[in-house]
Structures are given as structure tokens and as C-alpha cells.
Structure 1
Amino acid sequence: MGRTEGKLIKGGPYSGSSLIKKENYQLTDIYAFGKHDQQTIMFFMSRILILNGHPHDGPEHFVHALASAYEAGASARHEVRRIDIAKLDFPILRDPTDWKSRELPSGLREAQEALAWANHLVVLYPLWLGDMPALLKGFLEQIARPGIAMEPKQNGLYQKLLTGKSARVFVTMGMPRAAYMLFFRGHSVKSFKRNILKFVGIKPVRLSIVGNVEGSNAARQKWLQRAERLGRRGK
């Protein structure tokens, strides 16, 4: 339950990050199928925002490798932007009136625009003390303001402003996946899915729980390959 999110595979192909990467690829993948006909299918491009939620930008963390693997796969077929939380500069909200003011800190305006632009959100973070890191939570509190992610209605409910978007959530942890999902009931990631993402209209939300992250190198390689495949599919 501590801060054991794993290490980056040395010499691996997935490394490097930036504050926000914008790659507007105009590629369309068309594949022939069937032995005797030349019918083709087209994979429609998605606008994907990768949100790397690890608060430390050291290259050794496995979350960074997963983000880069997904980005590598997605960039071949889709438009991709990337935000690295560790490289953002913003204050933590302390006063509810600041949240209601609708005024974002200047360091988050580009992130707000990227969130509005995307139709698929990919969030990656390590499990720290049973939950997402505080810096990622602080980012979400800033960005999920009235007029951005939701809008208060006169009946006391909220209108969801991020409908039409889907999400994939990667969570890395030192414990086995089964222990987290069965013994701890996956409470943190389920809360994120239900009380934040779906609350503002984002669905479906798919989960990728990466357990035993500090285990074998072979297992980490398989996760990187899986992340790249998901990126190509835009899932």
C-alpha cells in the first residue's frame, strides 16, 4: 500500500516525455481482408489525451514507460496529446469559492483546452497509500470546475459537460492485482471511475490494473506491449 509503483525497464523503447505533446498525424490505416476480395476497412481516427499522473518526472518509473508505450501505438493511427502532471505548475485548491469562481490557473489553461479537444482520455498513475497521488487529485479538482466538466442546475443536480468521451485508466501497484480487486475491492479506482469520470459524463471507462509491478521484467514487457496495442486501437 506504499509508494511502490515500479521501475522503468532499462534500455526499453518507451522513454521520454514532455509537458504537453501534440502530434497531429493524418494517417489512415486501411487493411484488406478476405482471400479473394479486396474489400477494405478504415479505422477512424480518435483524438486521444494521455494524462500521465505520476507526480515525479524521474525516468525510472514504470508509469512513464506505460504512457510512452500507449503514445507510441496511438500516434500511428490517431491524433495524440499528452500531459505530464509532474511538469505542471498549479496551486492546490483550499477554498471552495476558488473552485466556484471558474477561473483556472494560467498553468492549466492548455490542459483544459486539451480535455475539451479529446474524445478519449487515458489516465495513468501509481497507487499511493491506497489511492491516486495527491498531485493528480489536485489537478482533477482544479480541472473539474463548473463550466468545464459540469454545470450546476436549478434543481441542485449537475449537468454533465464531458459526455461523448471515453476513458482508459492504468493503475500500477506493488501488490497482486487479485489482492487489490478482491481484498481491497478496488475501491480507489472504482471511486475514480464512478464519482469523477462518469459523474462528468465520461463513459465507457475501461480499467487496466497492473499488479506486481516490481516483479519480473518479462511481465513488464508484456504490459508495455499491451499498452501499445491498446493505443493503436484507441481503446
Structure 2
Amino acid sequence: MKMLIIYTHPNHRSLSYSFLQEVINGSKENANIQEVQILDLYEEDFNPVLVFNEHKRRRDMYTEPGLAKYRDQLTWADKIVFVYPIWWGRPPAMLLGYIDQMFASGFAYKDTGGLLPEGLLQGKSVICISTMKGPTHYPLLWLYNAHKVLMRKALFNYVGIKKVKFFEFGNMESPSGKHKEKLNKIHRYFQSLNG
């Protein structure tokens, strides 16, 4: 299995970074995971601003030379792992900017003229690991599961990725947030992941 980890948090002393380390450490102990690539969007200084106009058409974004490296990473990966905080009920703008540019028509999906497009990233799977200040069930009870609906239905299913797993960890700014227990859970999950 080839795994791409996309990390989105500006602070390497954050809890999100600790979760990233557990993903990496658990993966190193797993014989099923052959290779791992890490894309740290802030460290990479990825430009999340989507630009298109009369000179730069959105329909041509899938050929944008400056994004070729990131397209190659997504094509290469069997499993894509996203590690990010939930801010204002959704992923950070940096990650959404990456999604806007990378999951483009012609690369991630193809319009067929029907109700839904043909997903071009079929066969891949995704794991989303997110942290938030509020309670664990806040997105479900207060936001009608908007985060999962956005990621699973509006994005991943649309581009052909049907296997999507979520870890949403709440109360992460509380001293009683069970940080160590949650970090261990992620470590064990990636240690034993087999597909």
C-alpha cells in the first residue's frame, strides 16, 4: 500500500502535529504500508488561492504545470490520509484551497452529461483525522454532520472514492480531552491497517 499524508496545520507544536506523528509511527510498524509520502501544506507554502480568468480557464486547471507534482502524488497513492483541525465547522481554508485546485475536472472527475460525473480516482481510499475544540458530537448534533457530508459526498464520492473513514476528535483544548488515549488509538489503527 502506498500512502499519501496531507497535513494542514501551521503549528508543528499542535495536537494535529502529534496526530500526524502517530500516523507516521504506526505506518512504519505496518508491513502492509510499503511507502509513505507527506505533504505539509503550510511547510510547502502551498498557495490556496484559486485563480481563473479570461487568460487562465478553470477547465484547464488539470494541466496547470505548477500543480503537476501534487497530481503525481494523488495518482501515486492508494490511500490518502488527511490530518487537519476543524475550524468553524469545516477544514482550514488552506486545505480547501488545495481541494479546489487538485480535485479538478479532467483529473479527478470527468463530466459525462448525466446527473453525476465519472470519478477518475476510483480504487483509492481516504482517512480523515480531525480535531476540534468543541465536543465530539458537536458536528453531528449542531451542524447536521456538515463536515462529513462535505468531505464524503460533495468531494470524495464525487471523484470516485467510496471508501472514506473519519476520526473526529472533540474536546481537544480541554485538559480532560483524553489526548493520549486518542493518539494511541490512531497509532494502533495505522499499525494494523491492511487496506
What TM bracket, shorter-length normalisation? Answer: 0.7 to 0.9
Change (3 A) 1:128 1:120: same
Distance in 2 (CA, whole Å) between partners of 1:217 and 1:130 is 22
State the 1:214 CA deviation: 1.1
Structure 2: gaps (5+ residues)? none
State the 1:215 CA deviation: 1.8
Q: Are 2:12 and 1:47 aligned?
A: no
Change (3 A) 1:221 1:182: same
Change (3 A) 1:187 1:71: same
Structure 1: gaps (5+ residues)? 1-45
Distance in 2 (CA, whole Å) between partners of 1:62 and 1:123 is 14
Distance in 1 (CA, whole Å) between partners of 2:36 and 2:109 is 24
Distance in 2 (CA, whole Å) between partners of 1:105 and 1:143 is 12
Q: What is the aligned partner in structure 2 of residue 104 from structure 1?
A: 64
C-alpha contact (below 8 Å) 1:104/1:142 kept by paired residues: no
**TM-score scaled to structure 1, two decimals?**
0.73
Q: What is the aligned partner in structure 1 of residue 20 from structure 2?
A: 67
State the 1:198 CA deviation: 1.0
Partner AA of 1:73 in structure 2: G
Q: What is the aligned partner in structure 2 of residue 11 from structure 1?
A: none
State the 1:121 CA deviation: 1.1
Cα shift readout 1:170-221 (whole Å, capped 9, x = no counterpart) = 1110011122222222212321111101110112111101000112377111
C-alpha contact (below 8 Å) 2:122/2:160 kept by paired residues: yes
Q: What is the aligned partner in structure 2 of residue 158 from structure 1?
A: 117
Q: What is the aligned partner in structure 2 of residue 85 from structure 1?
A: 41
Q: What is the aligned partner in structure 1 of residue 141 from structure 2?
A: 182
Q: What is the aligned partner in structure 2 of residue 113 from structure 1?
A: 72
Partner AA of 1:202 in structure 2: I
Distance in 2 (CA, whole Å) between partners of 1:195 and 1:209 is 18
Q: What is the aligned partner in structure 2 of residue 94 from structure 1?
A: 51
Aligned to 1:168, the other structure's residue is in SS state strand
C-alpha contact (below 8 Å) 1:126/1:173 kept by paired residues: yes
Q: How does 1:10-21 map to 2 (within 5 A)?
A: none
Count of residues in correspondence between the two structures: 187
Distance in 2 (CA, whole Å) between partners of 1:141 and 1:99 is 10
C-alpha contact (below 8 Å) 1:104/1:143 kept by paired residues: no
Distance in 1 (CA, whole Å) between partners of 2:14 and 2:122 is 32
Name which one, 1 or 2, has greater alpha-carbon Rg.
1
Partner AA of 1:199 in structure 2: Y
How large is the RMSD of aligned CA atoms in angstroms? 2.0
Q: What is the aligned partner in structure 1 of residue 105 from structure 2?
A: 146
C-alpha contact (below 8 Å) 1:47/1:80 kept by paired residues: yes
State the 1:125 CA deviation: 1.2
Fraction of identical pairs, as percent: 25
C-alpha contact (below 8 Å) 1:176/1:211 kept by paired residues: yes
Change (3 A) 1:218 1:133: closer
